[in-house]
Amino acid sequence: MLRSRRLALLCVAAPLWLAACASVTPTRTFDAGETARTENYSGRFAANYVRYGRNEGVQGSFRWQEQGRNVRLDLVSPLGQTLAVITSTPSGATLDLPNEAPRNAPEVDSLMEQSLGFALPVSGLRDWIHGRPAAGAPANATRDTKGRLDTLTQNGWTVRYVDWQEPPEGTAVTTARPRRIDLARDTGESPLTVRLVIDPAAQ
C-alpha cells in the first residue's frame, strides 16, 4: 500500500495499525552550535494533494520544535500515535517512520514528498510560522490594517494568514502570532494545499 494511503488511514483501520504506529524515536540529533532558544508549537494539520493521478488527503496533529536552523516536526494521528518524525538541520534531514529504516537526504521538503506523497514546507515554515517572509528569497506580500502579513507568495507557495492570536499575558512573547495558516503550492504537476491551526498555548 502506498505510504500516502497508509497515512490517510491514520492508524484507525485495525489493531495491527496501532502496533505499526508505535512511538518513533528520532535518529538525527540537532546540530550543535545553534544558539537560539528552543521554541515549541503544536496544533492540527490537514493536507490535500494529488499523487499518481489520485486525490489524496491526510490530517492529524503536529508538534514543532525549533532551535535556530534545527527543526523537528512530529506528525501524529488523532489517536495520539506518531506517524512520522522529520528532523531538519544544517547538515541534512532525516525522516523516521514506524518500523522502517531512517531515510536521509540533504534537505527535508523533497525527502517528505518522496516518502509520504506530500510535503509540509518545513524550510519555509521556519519563518512563515513566525509571520515573516523567509530570508534570502524573493517574496511578494500584502499586510492587514495592523501591519501583519495577510498573504505571502514565496518559493512557489502562496501563504494566507487567516487568523492571528495575541500573546498570552505574563509571557516573554510581545507580538501577535499566526493562529491559522493556509498554504497552497500551485506549481508543477503536484498541486498541494495545507491548513495549519496552531494551538493558542504554543510558545
76 in a structural domain:
yes
88: which 3 cell numbers?
A: 531538519
User: φ and ψ at 109, to 5 degrees?
Assistant: -65, -45
- pLDDT score recorded for residue 163: 95
Model pTM? 0.81
Q: Report whether pLDDT(195) > 50.
A: yes
CA 57 to each of CA 149, 185, 198: distance values in angstroms, whole numbers, following the listed order: 27, 15, 19
Does residue 33 form part of some domain?
no
Residue 12 pLDDT exceeds 80: no
Number of other CB atoms surrounding residue 37 within 10 Å = 9
Residue 26 lies in a domain: no
Which range of residues forms the domain containing residue 118? Answer: 38-198
User: What's the Rg (C-alpha) of the chain?
Assistant: 17
pLDDT 10s digits, 72-83: 999 998 888 888
Find the range with the poorest average confidence among 21-25, 156-160, 194-198.
21-25
What's the one-letter identity of residue 137?
A
Three cell numbers written together for 191: 498541486
- Does the residue 10 lie in any domain? no
Three-state DSSP class for residue 183: strand
CATH number at residue 97: 2.50.20.10
Asked whether residue 150 carries a pLDDT value surpassing 60, the answer given is: yes
| Residue 20 in domain | no
| pLDDT tens by residue, 81-135 | 888 999 999 999 999 998 889 999 888 877 887 788 787 888 899 999 999 999 8
Q: Work out the average pLDDT over 136-155.
A: 94
The answer as to whether 45 is a domain residue is yes
| Residue 178 maps to a domain | yes
Q: For 40-73, how does the pLDDT look when each residue is reduced to its tens digit (9 = 90+)?
A: 999 999 999 877 778 888 899 999 999 999 999 9
How far is it, in rounded angstroms, from Cα 73 to Cα 7?
15
172: which residues sit within 8 A by CB, 6+ positions away? none
Confidence of residue 8 (pLDDT cuts 50, 70, 90): very low
Kindly state whether residue 12 falls inside one of the protein's structural domains: no
Distance of CA 107 to the CA centre of its chain: 14
- The number of domains in the chain is 1
